[in-house]
Amino acid sequence: MNLNQLYYFQMVANLQHYHQAAAELNISQPSLSRSMSNLEEELGLFLFEKQGRNIVLTKYGRIFLEHVDKIIEELENTKKRMENLASSSEGHIDIAYVSPLAKHYIPFSARRFLDIKENKNVTFSFSQNYTAKMIEGLKADKFDVVFGSYSEEESDLNFVPIIRQELVVIVPHNHELAQYEEIDIKQMQSHNVIAYERYSGLGKFTRKLFKNFDMNPEIICESSDEGSIVALVEAGFGVAIVARVSELESANIKILTLKNRDMYHDVYMIHHKYRYLAPAVQNFINFIKKQSNSL
């Protein structure tokens, strides 16, 4: 049984006439009759029977037609879906990103992309997680593009820097460090620290910073994002080193810059180097590259 036989059978079943069906299918009547005979032989059932000068479906032919109609409809829907995915103007993009990008960067970047006339029919799926989990999803083709921290030993992936985040220390207004505008990172050593979750990109990054400066501060709590960290600092539970995001500016905290050099964290757009990327995905990648300032 092959796909052509299913299309031939559907046409004959609908027209109930071999000659008319052959003309519609642009094949000879003997070829069509032979194809249907081979199909019946393979199934072990008669699908058609003569009724006067025409043919009609048998009971088993009607049952078979129900399934064939569903199969062909699903095939046509799948074909349309594939055509949409192959289109640069009607494709679908699965993206994932770290939580700091959820409130502004991702939604507004996607909206600006869709505001371009050629992209208006592109659709998105959004997901949020840690960088390590997102990279797993990227490798499994769950995502097309992810936004997160740099990860070593991922030679098959492209890491494109898109955002440079300044790292700052935040403290309660009544904290002893609040008298300063700028501090050395080592001044955090003797204070309770609220940190990013250790498995997040920024969690790994800030812990590496502490190690590089030979620090081992008392980490009393781990939080997933800046909003949670800010809330604990506001309540006086400790100090924190965080990326300077918009949430900090309206919070009831003191923001301290760091004297140490190169105190920043880069966020990357991550995608496959060698796998095929659908046109809409490639267009989105090019759009993000263009809108991001070179770091």
pLDDT, position 77:
85
Judged on CB neighbours under 10 Å (0-12, 13-18, 19+), 1 is exposed
Q: Does domain 3-86 fall into CATH 3.30.70.20?
A: no
**pLDDT tens digit string along 172-230?**
999 999 999 999 999 999 999 999 998 888 998 999 999 999 999 999 999 878 889 99
Task: Determine the topology of domain 165-265 in CATH.
Answer: D-Maltodextrin-Binding Protein; domain 2 (3.40.190)
Q: Give per-residue pLDDT as tens, 220-249.
A: 999 878 889 999 999 999 999 999 988 898
pLDDT at 224: 79
Mean pLDDT of 260-285: 92
Find out whether 282 and 273 touch, Cβ atoms under 8 Å.
Answer: no
Pairing between β-strand 254-258 and β-strand 264-272 as defined by DSSP bridges: unpaired
Q: Which pLDDT score, from 0 to 100, does residue 138 have?
A: 95
Of residues 47 and 83, the one with the higher pLDDT is 47
Angstrom distance (rounded) from CA 139 to CA 142: 8
Question: Are 3-86 and 92-161+267-291 in the same CATH fold?
Answer: no
Locate the domains of the chain by residue range.
3-86, 92-161+267-291, 165-265
- pLDDT at residue 62 greater than cutoff 90: yes
| Residue 63: per-residue pLDDT | 95
Average predicted confidence (pLDDT) for the chain: 91
- What type of residue is 226? E
- Stated as kind and residue range, the H or E segment containing 39 is helix 29-43
119: nearest Cα among 287, 289, 292: 287
Task: Indicate yes or no: pTM above 0.75.
Answer: no
